[in-house]
């Protein structure tokens, strides 16, 4: 796989979204399994992703990882740490890892995330893992990008209550209680289960997987749960609904980028003229 070209394409998407889009339009895309890994900072997402890569590689699957950073420009430290930890995979031909800033109006995920996912699909990855940071309202955006959302929780963080409020619990397809080597993990499992009991019943009941990412305990089970959910999506036809939902959001992002571009170019122009240009572009 030509990772340099993929890397260049992603840079193009991030720096010149319109050109990036043009390039993507002429490329064939694979039906990759797209998985979002979300949860609070420190829950163990990166460590888990690292382990998941190993499991998927063992199964012969190629894995593309997108790590979305917190928007604060001063949070580069954690990211560098992640990179070092993930470094051992860089030489593996079936693995590609790239991080992106979480800037953009939509908060939790970058505006160009949809196109970046397309770039990964164009390069034919079997699995695309997207790590997003945060536990705020904007985190629910990941549900539009990913087909399967994995919510990583850890004991003692008190995250559950806040996430419940932010609606993140509802978008989780798989729950992970990571740091199950620590006190309070069983209690956390019980509280998630209690929460699931009272929530609206769906065909898919989100499993709760206990892991210790640092040692790898439970990670195979997590990979299995993710694949099981993917099978469920296909068998139930739900995958098509998710695709449509995602494409709608994707179109929104692309058009917003286009409009923003026109506005950025409209230095010195009057309001009416800017609107005319936007409308002209929309008709084109």
Binding site for ligand GDP (CB under 6 A): 39, 41-47, 178-179, 181-182, 212-214
Smallest separation (angstroms) from ligand GDP to the CB of 132: 10
For ligand GDP, the closer of residues 71 and 266 by Cβ is 71
Q: Which two tokens stand for residue 277?
A: 């240009």
Q: Residue with CB nearest ligand GDP?
A: 44
For ligand GDP, the closer of residues 69 and 111 by Cβ is 69
Residue with tokens 């039906």: 31
Smallest separation (angstroms) from Mg ion to the CB of 131: 6
- Residue 40 — φ and ψ, nearest 5°? -65, 155
For ligand GDP, the closer of residues 46 and 138 by Cβ is 46
Residues of this chain that bind Mg ion (CB under 5 A) = 45-46
The count of residues in the chain is: 284
Residue 181 binding partner per list Mg ion, ligand GDP, none, with a CB distance cut-off of 5 to 8 Å that depends on partner kind: ligand GDP
3 state SS of 157: coil
CA atoms within 13 A on the CB side of 47: 18
Q: Residue with CB nearest Mg ion?
A: 46
For Mg ion, the closer of residues 90 and 204 by Cβ is 90
User: Which ranges in 35-184 belong to alpha helices (H)?
Assistant: 45-58, 76-86, 113-122, 142-145, 159-166, 168-171
Smallest separation (angstroms) from ligand GDP to the CB of 185: 9
Smallest separation (angstroms) from ligand GDP to the CB of 24: 28
Query: Which residues does 64 contact at the CB level (< 8 Å), separation at least 6?
Result: 32, 95, 96, 97, 98, 120, 123, 125, 127, 128, 129
């Amino acid at each position: 796989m030509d990772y340099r070209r993929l890397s260049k394409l992603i840079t193009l998407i991030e720096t010149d979204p319109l050109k990036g889009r043009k390039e993507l339009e002429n490329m064939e895309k694979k039906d990759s399994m797209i998985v979002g890994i979300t949860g609070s900072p420190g829950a163990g997402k990166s460590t888990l992703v690292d382990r998941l890569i190993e499991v998927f590689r063992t199964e012969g699957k190629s894995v593309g990882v997108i790590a979305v950073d917190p928007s604060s420009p001063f949070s580069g430290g954690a990211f560098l740490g992640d990179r070092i930890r993930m470094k051992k995979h860089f030489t593996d031909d079936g693995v590609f890892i790239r991080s992106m800033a979480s800037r953009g109006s939509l908060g939790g995920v970058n505006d160009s995330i949809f196109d970046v996912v397309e770039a990964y699909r164009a390069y034919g990855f079997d699995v695309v893992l997207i790590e997003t940071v945060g536990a705020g309202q904007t985190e629910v955006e990941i549900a539009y990008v990913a087909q399967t959302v994995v919510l990583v929780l850890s004991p003692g963080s008190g995250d559950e209550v806040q996430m419940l409020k932010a609606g993140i619990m509802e978008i989780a397809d798989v729950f992970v209680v990571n740091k199950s080597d620590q006190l309070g993990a069983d209690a956390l499992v019980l509280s998630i289960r209690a929460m699931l009991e009272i929530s609206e019943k769906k065909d898919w009941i989100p499993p709760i997987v206990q892991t210790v990412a640092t040692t790898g305990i439970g990670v195979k089970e997590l990979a299995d749960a993710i694949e099981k959910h993917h099978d469920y999506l296909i068998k139930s036809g739900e995958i098509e609904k998710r695709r449509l939902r995602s494409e709608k959001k994707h179109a929104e992002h692309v058009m917003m980028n286009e409009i923003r571009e026109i506005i950025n170019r409209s230095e010195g122009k009057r309001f009416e003229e800017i609107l005319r240009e936007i409308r002209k572009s929309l008709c084109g």
